[in-house]
Amino acid sequence: MSTKQSVGVQAAPPVPSSAERRRGDGRGFSSALRGGRVAGLDGLRTVAVMLVIVYHLEPEAVPGGSVAVDVFFTISGFVITRLLVTEYARTGHIGLLSFYRRRWLRLGPALLVMCAVTALLSVALPLPLFDGAWVAAALTAASVVNLVRAGESGPYSDLTAPLSHTWSLGVEEQFYLAWPLLLLVLLRHTTARAVLGWAAALCVLPVLWRMALWDPTAAHRIYNGPDTRADQLLVGALLALVLARLRADDPRLALLRRWSQRLCWPALALLGLIAWQVPITEPSGWNPVWYTVGMLAAAVLSAVVVAALDLCPRAWPSRLLSVPALAWAGRNLSYGMYLWHYPAIRLLSDLGVDGGRLLPAGVAATTAAALVSYVLVERPLLRRDRFRVRRLEPVAAAAR
């Protein structure tokens, strides 16, 4: 806001409108405006997706490699909530339809292409591991693979097997549907402190729910349910809200920065130890712990790493994970690599690639498929969407 001075007289500043006041304070979340892309998080995505690939190729080497999915959940909750709160802080509003449209353009087309290719393989080629894959492709396209798997108390059936890895995408997409609406209600009708309190309470509820559900026969229900995995996304969301609440000169932010930097390496080491030693998806003595409080513990460890990468870009973890090639792959290829790695592995197995050749061949095939997806599907749609937004900006500005 500008001020004009005459000789000895200062003009009174105009009284801001209610909409301008809401844009300025964001109900206590104006510091969200310092958000932006974090290269270290992109690098962490690359590491996580590579761990998932190795886990599916060599499960004996990393029996707990599925903890990488827990890391993905926390990153997703953090990034999505930061975007939503930043929009609210700037405009006093969250455009839900625009949010859902952007999410669809980012995730949907590439997913549908992968489903279509898998379905074609199932009907065109006599490949045993792709037999009936068109059913799995249909369930994946509808984002319900996790719900189907959650309803199977015994061993997983072959119904979703060709694309069983997409259960995690179902959990995320169901979270994306519910959380922005709930967050908007909280932001509009409560104080910033109350929003933080509600988010923290919501992080605890899935843990209590898992404790009530826990039984060895309920493992699939707990592992795949959007309600029983919600705390891992909500921990990331809570971190985004806390960082958005603290202004740059707040001493609590400095404290958080200092402790996240100190605890980052121990958190990474513990996550690595889980991947190396804890058989998460196999029957073991760890199951009662992991399927109740362990998932929240993994989310908290992931949140410590995320906080350090966001707040301490000059620290060594951030520098290592911000290496340009690693960050570029995480930003542009990690989603495609996750989509395509499981079909690629199954295809190579059907073609007789096994033993020590399967890991390098699987990584190479997955990376190639992700590059094709990025160049032909994802990047063109994202560029078109950005161009559309830039074209609309002058019109929106003139309408204010």
**Separation in Å, CA 219 to CA 230, 274, 283, 294:** 16, 18, 9, 13
pLDDT at 385: 61
Q: Which of 191, 150, 168 is nearest to 77 (CA)?
A: 168
Q: What DSSP state is assigned to residue 9?
A: E
Tens of pLDDT, residue by residue over 344-376, are: 998 998 888 988 899 999 999 999 999 999 999
* Contact between 125 and 117 (Cβ < 8 Å): no
Query: Who's near 253: CB < 8 A, 6+ residues apart?
Result: 243, 246, 247, 311
pLDDT beneath 70, residues of the chain:
1-27, 30-36, 384-400
Tell me if 74 sits within 8 A of 300, measured CB to CB: no
- Please report the DSSP string for 140-197 in residue order: HHTT-HHHHHHT--SS--SSSGGGGGGHHHHHHHHHHHHHHHHHHHHHHHS-HHHHHH
15-56 pLDDT, tens digit each: 444 444 444 445 677 544 555 689 999 999 999 999 999 999
Token digits for 123?
Answer: 């009907």
Give the pair of three-digit tokens for residue 322.
Answer: 């911000």
**pLDDT for 126:** 79
Beta strands in 1-129 (DSSP E): 5-6, 9-10
Q: How far apart are CA 167 and CA 172, in angstroms?
A: 9
pTM of structure: 0.89
| Tokens 């190396």 -> residue | 276
- Phi, psi torsion values for 109, nearest 5 degrees: -60, -45
* pLDDT at residue 247, rounded to an integer: 87
Domain boundaries defined on the chain: 36-323
